[in-house]
Amino acid sequence: MGKIKALVVDDSKIMRSAVKRALDQLMLAEFDYVEAMDGEDALEKFNSEGDIEIMFVDWNMPKMTGVEFSRAVRDQGGNDHIPIIMVTAEKSMGKVDKALNEGGANEYITKPFTADKMAKTIGRYIDEDGQMVTDSADEEEGESKSFFKSILNS
Amino acid sequence: MIPEKLDEVKKIPAEITELVKESVINTFASISGEEPAFVPTNGDSGKLNGIIGNIAVFNQKHTLSLMLVLPKDTAVGISENFIGMELPFESDDMGDLIGEISNILAGDVAANIEKVGFRGQSSLPTATRGSDLTLFMPSKPPTEKMKFQGGKGEFWLNMALSESN
């Protein structure tokens, strides 16, 4: 089985390491990591690597924020099947809404996160063989976004 | 609500300081698994051998500047909580870590103070490391210094509220 190619975007090297360590500890799959230190760097690597399968993206970064990066990726078209997981210190509901709806992200994890929280968030995107699944996740993702919307609207 | 003009404001409104205090406790509890205790004192850290994380939560009207003040031993201990191993105090990673903790704290503060009408966003964090450091707070805008005692040692949170320019 091949490794899942994951793009980890954060201006903090410590946080990139924390994301990778959490993913490795979960043993849901084997990952081949590509790292980027801001949105611009991430966009360049997303386009040059060509086969990124999942992305973990910080929000608050220099040059290009995580939401701007996420929007830029989605605006390219043809990549809605690639999960974008926002991993960020921003935790107000307005920010969650912005990331999911304006940014086109699929999921939202607040820092500091636990491996358990990471597992619950990304488990739906990885099958028992450690490979990416997207079809069933699309429906659950819709439910997840609806859940946030219901909180925001309540 | 915070008055638009701060000329006559002598102290940061208690509703803000209480929410920031709550955010400090929440943030460090989520990192280390135990809540730090607020220590009621005059809050002054004295001469510091350690590291300071600087960040601000701001909007068009106001800026809340936060200084997270960590003595060397506290910072090293917290690094073990955060990444599972002690970082050398002199390493670049230590600056990165304290910047990131400041960022996490500011995210919590921003979400918390929305409750009292301060809707802002976080700046990018910076960190300053050194020995024999004296921390000067601005003289005009209202400021507050809070001391905490956590499982890895004592630390301070200094803040200043100013009008955004």
**CB-based contact A102:A95 (threshold 8 Å):** no
Angstroms from A56 CA to nearest CA on chain B = 16
Instruction: For residue B24, give the CATH number of its domain.
Output: 3.40.1550.10
Collect all residues of chain A within an 8 Å Cβ-Cβ radius of residue B93.
13-14
**Chain B residues within 8 A of A61 when measuring between CB atoms:** 124
Interface test with B, best of A90, A93, A109 (most B CBs within 10 A): A90
Asked if the structure places residue B52 within a domain, the reply is yes
- Domain with B52, as residue range(s), is 14-134+144-163
pLDDT tens string B44-74 = 778 899 999 999 999 999 999 999 999 999 9
pLDDT, position A148? 54
Sheet arrangement for strand A54-57: A31-36, A4-9, A54-57, A84-88, A107-110
Task: Provide the pLDDT for residue A3.
Answer: 93
Q: Does A65 touch chain B (CB under 8 A)?
A: no
Alpha carbon dihedral A95, A101, A104, A106, in 10-degree steps, equals 80
Asked whether A90 and B107 are in contact (CB, 8 A), the reply is yes
* B97 domain-assigned: yes
Cα(A103)–Cα(A98) distance, integer angstroms: 6
Calculate mean pLDDT across residues B68-92: 93
Q: Which residue reads 């989520």 in tokens?
A: B30
Interface check for A117 against chain B (CB to CB < 8 A): the answer is no
State the residue for tokens 């503060």: B109
- Asked if B96 and A12 come within 8 Å (Cβ–Cβ), the reply is yes
- Please judge whether A89 and B30 are an interchain contact, meaning their C-beta atoms are less than 8 angstroms apart: no
> What residues does each domain of chain A span?
4-153
Instruction: Determine the pLDDT at residue A97.
Output: 86
Separation CA B126–CA B107 (nearest Å): 15
Tell me whether B102 touches chain A (CB under 8 Å): no
Q: What is residue A105's predicted lDDT score, i.e. its pLDDT?
A: 93
pLDDT tens for chain A, 154 residues long, are: 689 999 999 999 999 999 999 999 888 899 999 999 999 999 999 999 989 999 999 999 999 999 999 999 999 999 999 999 999 998 888 888 888 888 899 999 999 888 888 999 999 899 988 999 866 555 555 555 545 544 443 3
B19-31 confidence digits (pLDDT tens): 999 999 999 999 8
Q: Is A19 exposed, middle or buried (0-12, 13-18, 19+ CB in 10 A)?
A: buried
- pLDDT of A107 reads 92
Residue B4 lies in a domain: no
Q: In this complex, is the C-beta atom of B110 within 8 Å of any C-beta atom belonging to chain A?
A: yes
Contact B124 A60 (CB under 8 A): yes
| Count of structural domains, chain B | 1
In this complex, which of B99, B111, B122 lies closest to A12 when CB atoms are compared? B99
Rounded Cα gap, residues A137 and B119, in angstroms: 33
The answer to whether the Cβ–Cβ distance between A21 and B111 falls below 8 Å is: no
* CA gap B62, B119 in Å, rounded: 10
Task: Look at residue A145 in the predicted model and tell me its pLDDT.
Answer: 57
B45 domain residue, yes or no: yes
- Looking at per-residue pLDDT, the higher value among A143 and B33 belongs to B33
ipTM for the predicted complex comes to 0.82
Assess if residue B8 is contained within a domain. no
Sign of the torsion formed by the C-alpha atoms of B120, A17, B99 and B45:
positive
- B24 part of a folded domain: yes
> Is the CB of B84 inside 8 Å of chain A's CB atoms?
yes
Check: CB of residue B118 under 8 Å from CB of residue B124.
no
A18 touches chain B (CB under 8 A): yes
Task: Answer whether the bond into residue A112 is a cis peptide, omega within 30°.
Answer: yes
pLDDT value at residue B154: 95
What band does B112 get if pLDDT is binned at 50, 70 and 90?
very high
- Distances from the Cα of B69 to the Cαs of B30, B34, B47, B101, B151, in angstroms? 18, 19, 11, 11, 16
| Closest by CA position to B97, among listed A114, A38, A16, A88 | A16
Averaged pLDDT, B106-127? 93
Classify domain A4-153 at the CATH class level. Answer: alpha beta
Chain-centre distance for alpha carbon B86: 21
Given an 8 Å threshold on Cβ–Cβ distance, is B96 in contact with A88? Answer: no
Cα-based distances in Å from B102 to A119, B23, B39, B110, B164: 25, 11, 20, 12, 20
Note whether B106 contacts A: Cβ–Cβ < 8 A. Answer: yes
Residue B55 phi, psi dihedral angles, 5° rounding = -160, 160
Query: What's CA B161's distance to the chain center, in Å?
Result: 13
Dmax of chain A from CA atoms? 45
Q: Residue A126: phi, psi to the nearest 5?
A: -125, 130
Is the residue at B62 inside a domain?
A: yes
Element (H, E) at B158: strand B153-163
Arithmetic mean of pLDDT over chain B: 91
Return the DSSP state at B7. T
Angle at B37 between CA B36 and CA B40, to 5 degrees: 140
Answer whether residue B7 is part of any domain: no
